[in-house]
Structure formats: structure tokens, C-alpha cells
Structure 1
């Protein structure tokens, strides 16, 4: 209720303050004369005084009784007032006393339902023209759109109206005026320096490539400097010289001397973490760190084949076809300075022809002026998905040889003939037909890029079907063994039958966990623990417990 009274009494004062701040923030004072500023200041002061006086006259501090009545009005039967009543008649009568006590009990129950009341100043009724919204809009515009420092400049302009005008002797000539700015390159994200505001003894420290510009007022004003070449301009203006800071030196303008120190931009630095790791799905994970004095602008990882470290046997004995090195963009934060970065590159290169082969990894970063920094070359094996099913591994090796060089197509056809010889029980019939069709394609003649890529995709899909299909079958066998064991226990099977079914479940669980361990989906040393855990949770164990 105090807040409601304050809002009702002082909302005109807030409107006046909001409009005054908006006038200062958007430079209204810069376009007014000294007399106009004085008149505006007097008017604003009267408006502030009037609105403040009106608020003090209107403000009434709410009492506890008013607060009690406010809450009581929201409850049925006004129980707070009823609880303060006293019985006037029938005090000695037992029936009347019992009735009075029941009434008091009902009122107490109603009073317990009291809850906080949200404030409601009802300003819409007191401000039919919506002037309070004008003040709020003005404040919002100041916070969002007003230039920084403009309010301070406006206050300074108002304060200057109370200072007497300086008396200039008619015999003294005023010296030439000037203004100067030093603007660092945009990529440094540093603010512009206003040279007139610098103390006389300070040294001007600027990044290399900063632009220094002046505005001269007066025919006798001049600028001399030895820090860099003049800035190229379509229409040079002798009253607005500008140049670029390239070296240490001195700037002199109308008797004012600036000692300038130019800081060259340091080269960015990048380094790779430990050897790249491989996730279970074959993705590459490479950690890196990078730093620059003004922030990293871009970065990438370059991966090239380490041909000298390749085991040149079988399908890799022939010379490889030329391929461009792999270029992966390093992940950089969207916000922040990017001066010191620590990140992690994650990429899926499991289908690349160089997967699981020796490669050289180099990290490269650029700063805002395209200066380049590189890491030391790192010799490693390019992470890729591994296949443990013999048939799947053979198809992946054939795919690698075909992507290595199309001269391996005849050798690949021979491998496919061996793989598809008597496939009963080892592969799905549809898969066998697809592989036999690939034999004809390989033996038909040279492969173009499109045919080679299509063949590689078919071999990849076939290997995935063989690798993951075996895992699905093992999972299905384990679930089937669990269901059979549960059914046998429910039907009262003999101990020998339960024991036999438990052995089947244990064998199916062993096969499934072993396949998971081979594919690195669980640690190998956890397979035994998981088998024992599965056995401990079997229906037979629960039944025996």
C-alpha cells in the first residue's frame, strides 16, 4: 500500500525526470543557445519542484487499520473485523455463548484464508492521457539508443550557462584550434582515443595500423609527423589530414607534441594437445590451444597423408591417387575476445580414404590482419571406425584399396568373389546379390569418380550391416534366453531345466558383451562385471532369493 501511495503521488515527478534525461541523452542541449538553455533549465526546475511538491502533498502513509480493512474486504464475511467484535447480549446464556463461539470459530477459519494482495496503484484512472507511458518510453529509448557519455555532455553544457563568458582582450589574437582522433584497427576491438583529452606528458601507445586524423580550425594550424604515410583519400582536405601509424615517432600540431609508440601485432600461436582420440563411433577428437594479443580470427586443422609411414603392402602397394589435404575449421567462440582459447575439434572422418592410416596433422590460425601461426606437425593415425566382423573388415579393406587407387578394382573383384563364395548362413541373400553385382561393375572397365564413390558407399553400407547386424542378433538371442527362463520359472520348471536355461542366458550374455567390448562401446574389463551383474538379476536368481 505504501508503494501504491508513492506511485499515485510521484508518477508526475518520474515523467518529468524521464523526459529531462531523454533531452540530455539525445543532445537537445547542443542545438540551443545560452539563453534558451537558461530558459529550459528554469522550466525544468519549476516542473521538478511542482511535481515533487504535488507528490508530497498527495502522499499519505497507509495505516495498519487501513491494511487490515484492505485484506478483510477480500474475505467472505469480513472475518478480521468479526474477530475483534465483543458479545453484547446473552453472555450468560449457554445457548447464546455456544452460538457466539461457533460464530467466532467460523470467522477464524475464514481469516486463515487471507493471502497477500497484489498492489494496484490504479494509475490508468489517475492518468487518462497516458503521460506515465511517455516517461517510461523516454527512459527505455535512453537505455537502448542514447550514445554513451551524451548525458554527461548535456549536464556540462547546462553547467556552462552559469559561468560568466570569458573576457578576451582585443589585442590578443586567439590561437588556431584543432581536434584529433586515434582510431586503432577494427580487429583489435579497442576504442577511439580523443587526442585533445590526453594529458600533455602522456605517451600515445597505438597498435600498428592505427589511423590518426585531425580537424584543423584556422589558417595557421599545421600538423607534422614521422610515424607513417598519409592516408589515401579520394579528395584530400588540407584541413583534415590523416595518416597511418607504422613506426615510433612524434606528432606536432599547433605547438602540441605527442610522443607515439607503435606496438606491432604479434603472431598468433597455436598448439595441439595430446594425440587425437577416437570415439566409439569413429569420430576424431583433437584438443588445441591458441592465443593472440588481439584475438584469433579464424583457424583450421590441415591433415595430409604421411605416405612414408604407410605400410605399402597388398592394396596399398600401388601409388595412391592424388587427394587434397583435409581442412577442418577449428571451433571458435562466437563472443568474447578470443585472446586465449582452449577448444576441442570433433569431426567424423571414419569414411575418408585415409581413415586408420598414418597422417600428419597441422593446426593453423589467423589473426585480424591475416598473420598466420602454425603448430608443430603431429604424426598420428587418423581415427576411424574399426570393424571386428571378419567379412565386414574385408569389405572395408577392399573399400580403402579402391579409394586408394582405382587400379585395385581387379583385386577388389577377386576379394568379392572369395567373400561371396558359399555365403549360406554368413550373409543375407540380398547382401550377397548386391556384392555379386559389384563384381560385374569392377570387372567391366575403368571406374569414373561417380562410379567409384557409389561403389565405396555400397561397400560401407554392407560392412555396417554385417558389423551391426551381428550385434543385433546377439542382443535378440540374449533377450530370447531371458524370456524363456522367465517363462520356465513361472510354469514351475524343474531345477535341471532352470539350470540349463541359465547356462543359455549366460552364454548369450557373454556373446553380446564381448561384441560390445570389441566395438569399444563398453570397456573390455567391464564385460565380466556386466555378465555377473546380468546373472545376478536373472529371474532364476530372484526366485532362489
Structure 2
């Protein structure tokens, strides 16, 4: 053999030896795992036996009869015993030796004469080199003769017959227990190991559950046990659950299994519980306790939406109107608690920011409100200006809604006196911040020094002087000065306008009328807001109405006296005064009846009619007053005729009902009489059906019209022969 052949042979032998060595290492690794499992299983068997015994007791519901506290102690003690035994048995285990590993491989692979021991044996270091070479060659030859190497399977059966018998008995008992428990077996085992948990065989507690809607809905409670379909409730409703027969507290969970933390739990007695929770969103609410689900309720929660609010058609004042029309429409599913209009200047000046709020009438808590009011906003400094307004609504549930903004013009009174218009112009400029406080005082002082009604009248001059002094006083704050000056300038402008013709009596009467009207309006507001319909409130309203009536009478007398002084009196002036007094008296009586009967809206409407009439009286001529009185009388007569027509219609309806009942009695009597005649088979009294019309009407108690007694003549013409 040449040197190259020897080298190739050695290389091939080395590669083969490496492959056999790797296969042997893998076999030894697997054998080590088999021996570990084979040694571990006997150490675990006693602990598994203890757990199996407790599981068997749980299948037959022995631990479940213990109280929760004693069951907790039992489970803790038993598990501690199992842990102690497992620790003791595991501490005695030792790692498998290389000899045991090789022996396991030899036994599983069917090798004889312990070939693996030859591979592990070594020669002493003092051995000669050629001996070492021969020994390695022998090991390689033994390694080459090895066939497939196997690690085998661990032997898990108990070693002794007694152990095998005990294990078989325990397994048989567990199988029998599972068969007896049936589908409840997992629940029994869990209840045995978890204190505070009931197994499925324990009877469910008695449950009463209902949903109480919010108070603003006025809906009846919904009992969950009586609903065929999932209930639909408003947002904010409260779910109340009463659980009876449960030793530990229940919990409410959401659809995702999370506990509802905002639920309130109350212990009623040893085994009774009460849970309340506010429903805020749609979903399933699950009632659970002691490891079981008692009830599952799908509930639909309707969100509480904002009120739907919008303007009605044509808000604002028309041309020449001194009242401002505010139409509105609002609705909410559960009712409205308040309505108002907020106004802002469309083009605000440099004055302080201000919001003009006008309350809208609302009786009770209606779900829909629609109407229009025409308040007198002419006294406000914004009168005649362009404003932007929104209708605001608040529902009984506390939700707020607002309409889209609308821009319109506020109504303003018509003043004929140039001086009154000048005063109002200064008032508006100062109130809107278009003129400063000091400049306004200078302009007012100049107006008072100008010859005219203010300069000629001591009272008005003193009023103007006091306003100027208030504006010039640095110790008065700007807000207080602005409020006082604006109010006093309005009264001054009205006084100038009322004295335009130089009649002090008429001006004083106008002042009394305005004060009396304000007093009546205030009393009506108190009665409406407080719901006060006591006799004292009604007497106070009657007294203020009488004061208003007297003031209007003095105003009309002053107008009549002025007309006679100016030689413009009409011939029928006394009749006009009596007619006007009568018209105002009827209007006041109707106002008082409306207020007494709780018709606050109608009462305020009557008061507005009187305010409109007195406003027209302020600058009216006697001829205008006569026409106005006749118009008021005609309106009163129209209302009386309408009421009489309603009474007549009601009386006619009663008469028709009475006649129908009498006719039904007659027809019933006729039917009974015909039946009696048929049964007798003979002639009796004449049937009602054959009575003449007049006789039938007399028996019904109705008037007989003329000609009703005439009887038709029979046809005496004989039939001509064919």
C-alpha cells in the first residue's frame, strides 16, 4: 500500500468515526431524558395520588358542604401536604450516571457484551505507544460494529403490584365520579379547589331586577323578568337587582366581562343583596356570583339627545311695529323645562359686552312647543337696532340646545317730539358705547339749556340736571352710571312726548297707566312662576286691575278735556267714553278670568292688547279714540257671539243625544211588541212602524211640524185593461 492509499484510508476512517460518535452522543442524550422521566414519575406519583383523592372528594361534593372559611383552610392544608411530599420525593432524585445511560442504550438497542463500556475504557498513560494504537483500533472496530442506537421508552407503571392496584382503584373511582357528576364534573372540581365558588348543582338564588327610568321621562319601571324583547331605556336609567339566597356578594359585569365599578352594592341580610347601577351605553349586563352567571340582560340605551330648536317664520319687527315678534319651535323626547331667546347686537360698539335674554312662555314640561310672542323691547337701548338672536332650550333631562342664529331688527316706539328723539339718540349712543360718559353729559347739558320743553318745564329740567350730575360724578362707577342714566333718559323721553301738547293731566295719566300696567304684568308673572292661585293672589290681581282701570279712565278723561279745549271734540264724545270704558272693562274681566283659571298665556295676551291700546291712545286724536273704542267694542261682541255659538252648539248636541236615546227606546219597545204579537198569533196594539209621523213625534216628545197630520190619499185609479 502506498503512502497516498494509507492517507486516504485513515481519512475515511476518521470521518466514519466522527459520524458514529455523533450518533452515540444523540443516543446518550435521549437515554438521559428517558432515565430522568423514569426516575421522576415514581417521585410524582404520591403527590398525584393525594390530588386525585381530593378531586374524588370534590366530584362527590364533600368539600362543597363546608363553609367557605373552613374550605379555604382545607384546600390550603391539603395543597401544603402535596407540596411537602413532592419536595421530599424530588429531593431524593439523583442524576443518571454515564454507566446507567450506556446500559439503557445497550438494553434498548439489544447490544451484548457491553460494547459501550469498551468505548469508555482508557489505558494508563504509561502504556506504550504501539499498545495505545492497537487499543484505539479495537475501539474503532467496536464502534463500527454498532448498529442503530436506541434510547428506549421510560417505564411508568408502578413497580410493585400493591402500587399498581392502588393506582388502578383511584383511576376507577375518578372515572366513576365523573360518570356520576356528568356535565357538572368540571364545575364540581373547580368548586372543590376554589373557596367561594359553587358547583353547578347548587340551586340558583332568587333574582328580582327592574330598570327605573329617569324621573323626567315619567315612564313606569321595566321589570326584566317580564320582557319578551330586550328593553329599550333612556340614558341615565338605573338598574336595580335584588338577589336572595346567596351567601357572598354578587357582581355586575359588562359584555366584555369587566366589573361595573360604578355599581353600588348593599347587603340587606345574611343572604340578600341589592345592586344598583346607572346605564350609560347599550350592551349586555351579566349578573355573576360564586363563579356562576345568574342572569344576562341585553339592554338598549337610548342616548339623551339635545333639544331640537329652530326659529319660526319672520322673526323681528315689521315696518312701524313697536313690538318685536319672536316665533319659536322646540321639541324634545322627554319634555322641555325652559325656553328663552338670547339677543346680541349684530354690530356691537365699544360698550361693554351685553346679552339680552327674553324668556319664552312654557306651561308644564311639553315635548313640543311652538308659538310666537311679541314682547315690548322698545324700552331697551337696542330698540330699532339689528340684532342676532338664538332660541335656547333646556330639556327636563338637563340637555341644552340652540337654534341657528337669525338676524332681524328690534321694534321701536314712534316719538313725534324732536326733543324726545334727541334724548333717545343720546341715550342709545351712550348705551352702545358710541359716545363716552363725559361727552354724553356735555350734550345733555347743552340740550337742557336750549329753549324748548325741557327748558320750559321745571320738573323735566331737574330730571335732566340730575342725570348730568350723575354722569359727572367720578365716585359713581361706569356700570352703575350707565344703568341709571339709560333708565332715567327713557322716562324723560316718554315725559317729553306725553307733554308734547302741553297737557300735564294727560302726561300724569299716561305715567299712571304705565305704572299700573307694569304692576299687573308683575303680578301675572308671580302667579305663573310660583303657581300661586291663592285667594290673596287673586285679590291682589283684582286690586291692580282696578288701579289700571282707573288710570285708563283718567287718561281718557284727560284726552276728552284736551279735545274740548282744542275745540276738536266730536259730538258723541260721551258715548265714546262710555264705549271705551265698557271695552276696557270687558278686556280686564277676561284677563282676570284667564289668570284665575290658570291661562297665563291668554292673560298676558290680554294685557298686551291693553298696552297696545294705551300706546295708540298716547298720540291719538279724539276721532282715532272713537274708532279705537268702536273696534274694541266690535271685538268684544265678536268674542261674545263666538262664546254664544259654542253654547248653542253644545245644547244642540245634547238635544240630538236625547232624541237618539228616545228613538232607541221606542225602537226597542216596538221590537218587543212585535215579538209578543207574533207569539200570541192575534191582533194587538198598532205597531210603532205603522204609526203616522205626527203620532210618532208626539210619543217621542218632539214638536210636530205643520202638515205632519196629513195622510196621503190612496190611488183610486184602477188599472186599465190591456
User: More helix per residue: 1 or 2?
Assistant: 2
Tell me the TM-score normalised to structure 1 length.
Answer: 0.49
Tell me the TM-score normalised to structure 2 length.
Answer: 0.38
Look at both structures and tell me which one has the larger radius of gyration over its CA atoms. 2
Structure with the bigger RCO (C-alpha within 8 Å, sep 6+) is 1
